[in-house]
Structure 1
Amino acid sequence: MDVHGGKGIIMGPNNYLGRNWQGAPIFITVEGANILSRNLMIFGQGAIRCHPFVLKEMALAGREDKQQALIEFDSLLLKHIGFAVSNAASTFILNLGFGHFERAPGNGLSQGYFRALNRQAAAFAMLADLSMMLLGGELKRRERLSARLGDVLSHMYLASAALKRYHDLGSPDHMSPLFRWAMEESLGHSERAMDEILSNFPNRILGGVLRAVVFPFGRRHKGPSDRLDAEVAQVLGRAKGDPTLEELLAGCYRPQSADDPVGALQQAIDLLSAAYPLHKKLQVAIKSGQVKPDAGEPVIDPALRIGVLQADEAQTLRTAEAARRKVIDVDDFDKEELTLAAGKIR
């Protein structure tokens, strides 16, 4: 919508974004604009369900045979303590840089991200255990803390999905800009959420100690760089048939007819790309003073008159310009079309 501007605001048959934009609030209000999901459910429920010991410990607390339950609980508790200590040690060792020597699948690019995700997973497990231990049932009422823990978990899932996809495709070089962007985006958000957790940890002294464990050298992932953003944006401007673009658009609705708004957009891109060398040629002639159009006169006409452009080149530019105007122009209607009359449906 930011790029389309008025094209996405003025409703009409050629506005292919407006209805989706209007529907956006509907998509996110199932759980109260997703606030309930983020603040309470993702971590508040997920941490208990997914934890290797907590759910079993809670179940033992309600068992009728208290003696047997106590024996099993002691065994589980020892394993739980070992799990927590192991996570804390792993987090510190991995973040000191020793994780660089651990084995990881994939090629040189994906191996680094496998290790980064492993570091974050260990840190998350440690923070989750300590948060539940210190806050207990209060954790659900500390919604901002619970939400940030949910953010870490969510972005680790997204990072793992990107890793799996890239690995399953055979780690192709042409997909590396998209892969790096996805990983830096997710790992950056995950690290920022952990940073905010530590800054707002209930026990400030413990929060400071944990920061030294999780970020001994500061944050490593701060989101995609401007250069990486530009690499990904450049992919979107490539011609049809490009392997990276085709992989990105696989499964998308891609009509080819110029009568369809999306098809007209694709046709405009193709025509403008083909006319780009002629456009540059015309700009050079204008800048040098060779072509001097009169006020309000299309620059193609004087260029054609003095021979800077041939007839077929001028037609190519006109066709491209017409296609460009078609996708930029918004829908407009006569007053009569908008007037509600008897027997007429608006």
Structure 2
Amino acid sequence: RWITLASVATVIGLAFRLRDPENLLGRGEDLGITCALVPSNLPGVIHSRRHDPLSIPFHNCPTQGKDVIVSLEDAVVGGLEGCGQGWSMLMECLAAGRGISLPAQATGGAKLAFRTVSSHALIRKQFGISIGAFEGVEEPMGRIGANTYALEAMRRFTLGALDKGLKPPVVTAIMKYQTTEIGRRVVNDAMDVMGGAAISLGQRNLLAETYVGTPIGITVEGANIMTRTLIVFGQGALRCHPYAFEEVRTLEAKDVKGFDRAFWGHIGHIVRNLCRSILLSITRGYLASAPAGVHPKTKIHYRRLQWASATFGILADVAMGSLGGQLKMKEKITGRFADIFSHMYMSTAVLRRFMEDGQKEEDLPFVQFYLKDSMAQIQKSFDGLFDNLKIPGLRWFLKDVIGAWSRINSMGSQGTDGWSHLITRAMMTSGEQRDRLTSGIYWIGEKSHGVATVLDRLSKNDQTARLENAFSVVTKSEATERKIRAAFKKGEIKAKRGLASWEEALSKKVISQDEFKLLTEADKVRYDAVLVDDFNDKEYHEVIP
């Protein structure tokens, strides 16, 4: 069940437990998990049925087989040598796949929301003012802009590793979990800003299918609950630790000398992390250094990431050492560790993108907003750990002493109002930055399309063209509207807004005939762009049976 594209596939990937009761291969009766590629046209293969994932047009299908005969040498991945090697193959494939497809899907959806909402926020007016000028709307728009910037940063950063042949399973688990969750939050914010325009189904609605489809990516490879509580820290604590994995390996191999080296190295690691954590906490990270050449306003984030890393390291060692095998069952605890680990990775990706993009001053609000919010989330998770880590003999110390100090000496807070204002202004301003931050998606306005394509798509009732055209015309008319408002304040005209004010401004030569035409055109395209679809009874039942 739930096999992507199975109903249209010519080859079906199959993972199964391979048994050899007669020991024909000479490797025992149970060879373990094995992967095979089965041609879909073989007798007995059934793959013609489909699931209906939330009515999204996506091939997601069950597969079945009865008395299907394949050759081991031809079907098993790796031939006879690949028998029993399926688990490692699956982990490698999952590591690559969940770092590519799901982050791309989430990033594309976020960019669509960014572009759609920013156009709507400029075009749609309330009390004669674009709704994007209201502080209540700036708040979700700030989150949309910053999270979209972060998603693209994370996507690029991870693809760089995969492109070099690396297959980091923990990093790609973080990507799967965090990008789908962030994508969901972005779309939810976009739905709130657009209101009725986002819930009225039809050709003019660009967000509804994205909104409905967000849970699909979240459930791939198991719900994000499992990814967060079992995989990210559960695997990461062992795989990413400089000594823990080696300790386990040498114990299993009964290598006493190797274990001693790993064990005492681990002790030294704990002492170093403890000292770093204390010193960085007392100095609020200022003892840490930032890389040479970084933007002065980002140095604090490099320092606080090192502070968070040292604190995370010592707490992880304390939890692993005191709880041992019980830790994997403490899923609320491992979930908080996973959140800290994830936010450190994502913040690193954002800083990396900012540097690689040339540290553009206009991008700084997006970077600052995201990093401040990310550090606040890290602080929240640390507070949860201090309150809930039940370590014999240390609980009171962690909760009442360290926890109290942590809340007083916080790593981050939600002070993002100023940055959200700047982000919203950037989102609603036509130009290179807006196009760059939403590049890579289907949208009118990219250099490759041109005016002819815009007009052609407008004639085909394309909502992307309609929004982009309205955004462009309304932007051009803003200077004229400012002239009329200034004339009203000076008492040169009596009508405050609308057609009456334009006609009066024209008659008193406050604006020219061309400017009057621009205002009427802007009003026309604005009205058309904010309309939603409606149907008669027959049409409605054809769309929704």
Do both proteins adopt the same fold according to a TM-score greater than 0.5, normalized to the shorter chain? Answer: yes
Q: Distance in 2 between matches of 1:39 and 1:102?
A: 30
1:73-112 aligned within 5 A: 73-97=259-283, 99-105=285-291, 106-112=294-300
Paired residues of 2:493 and 2:504 also in contact (CA < 8 A): no
Q: Which moved more, 1:330-339 or 1:75-84?
A: 330-339
Label 1:121 to 1:345 Cα distance change in 2 as closer, same or farther (>3 A): closer
Among 34, 42, 45, the residue aligned to 2:224:
34
Aligned to 1:119, the other structure's residue is in SS state helix
Matched, 1:49 2:251: no
Corresponding position of 2:202: 12
Equivalent of 1:248 in 433, 437, 442? 437
Cα gap change, 1:303/1:116 in structure 2, threshold over 3 Å: closer, same or farther? same
- Tell me, which stretches of 5 or more residues in structure 1 are unaligned? none
Which residue does 1:315 correspond to in 2? 517
Distance 2:405 2:258 in 1: 32
CA shift in 2, pair 1:210/1:72, >3 Å: farther
Q: Are 2:336 and 1:152 aligned? A: no
- Which deviations, in whole Å up to 9, do the C-alpha atoms of 1:121-154 show, x marking residues without a partner? 1111111111111111211221111101000000
Q: Deviations over 1:60-109 (max 9, x none)?
A: 2322xx4xx23322221111111111101111111221852444212322
Give the SS at the match of 1:320.
helix
Which letter maps to 1:115?
Answer: R
Question: In 2, are the aligned partners of 1:39 and 1:147 still within 8 Å (CA)?
Answer: yes
More displaced stretch, 99-108 vs 157-166: 99-108
Matches within 5 A, 1:86-235: 86-97=272-283, 99-105=285-291, 106-203=294-391, 204-208=395-399, 211=402, 215=406, 218-235=409-426
Counterpart residue type for residue 311 of structure 1: Q
2:249 to 52, 59, 63: 59
**Helix, strand or coil: the match of 2:534?**
coil
- Whether the 8 Å contact between 2:289 and 2:302 is mirrored in structure 1 is no
Q: TM-score, normalised to structure 1's length?
A: 0.86
Deviation at 1:224, TM superposition (A): 4.3
Contact 2:493 2:501 in 1 (8 A): no
Once residues 378 and 224 of structure 2 are traced to their aligned partners in structure 1, the CA distance between those partners, rounded to angstroms, is 18
Instruction: Tell me by how many angstroms 1:335 deviates.
Output: 2.9
TM-score (normalizing by structure 2): 0.56
User: CA separation in 1, counterparts of 2:301 and 2:536?
Assistant: 57
2:5 alignment counterpart: none
How many positions carry a matched residue from both structures? Answer: 336
In structure 2, the CA distance between the partners of 1:136 and 1:82, relative to structure 1 (3 Å rule), is: same
CA separation of 1:214 and 1:52: change in aligned 2, threshold 3 A: farther
The structure with more strand, counted as a fraction of residues: 2
User: Structure 2: which amino acid aligns with 1:58?
Assistant: V
Residues 76 and 213 (structure 1), Cα distance of their counterparts in 2 relative to 1, 3 Å cut: farther
State the superposition RMSD in angstroms. 2.9
Amino acid at match of 2:514: D
Query: Is the alpha carbon distance of 1:92 and 1:332 closer, same or farther for their aligned partners in structure 2, counting shifts above 3 Å?
Result: same
Q: Which runs of 5+ in 2 are unaligned?
A: 1-190, 446-453
| Cα pair 1:39 1:144 within 8 Å, conserved | yes
Q: Go from structure 1 to structure 2 and tell me whether the alpha carbon gap of 1:272 and 1:98 turns closer, same or farther (over 3 Å shift).
A: closer
Moved more, 176-185 or 211-220: 211-220
Cα gap change, 1:207/1:281 in structure 2, threshold over 3 Å: closer, same or farther?
A: same
Residues 46-70 of structure 1: per-residue CA shift (max 9 Å, x gap): 111111111222222322xx4xx23
Going from structure 1 to structure 2, the CA distance change for 1:216 and 1:332 (only over 3 Å counts) comes to: closer
2:429 corresponding residue in structure 1: 238
Question: How far apart are 1:254 and its partner, in Å?
Answer: 2.6
Q: Which amino acid aligns with 2:263?
A: L
Q: Which amino acid aligns with 2:357?
A: L
Percent identical across equivalent pairs?
29
Which of 256, 275, 294 in structure 2 is aligned with 1:70? Answer: 256
For residues 255-288 of structure 1, the C-alpha deviation after alignment (integer angstroms, 9 at most, x for no partner) is 1326232232222222112212332344456675
Counterparts of 2:386 and 2:234, CA distance in 1 = 18
Residue by residue over 1:230-269, the C-alpha shift from the partner in whole angstroms, topping out at 9 and shown as x without a partner, is 122221122213xx43442232333132623223222222
Asked if the contact 2:309–2:344 (Cα under 8 Å) also holds between the matched residues in 1, the reply is yes
Q: Which residue number corresponds to residue 331 of structure 1?
A: 533
Q: Which residue of the other structure, out of 466, 475, 485, is the alignment partner of 1:264?
A: 466
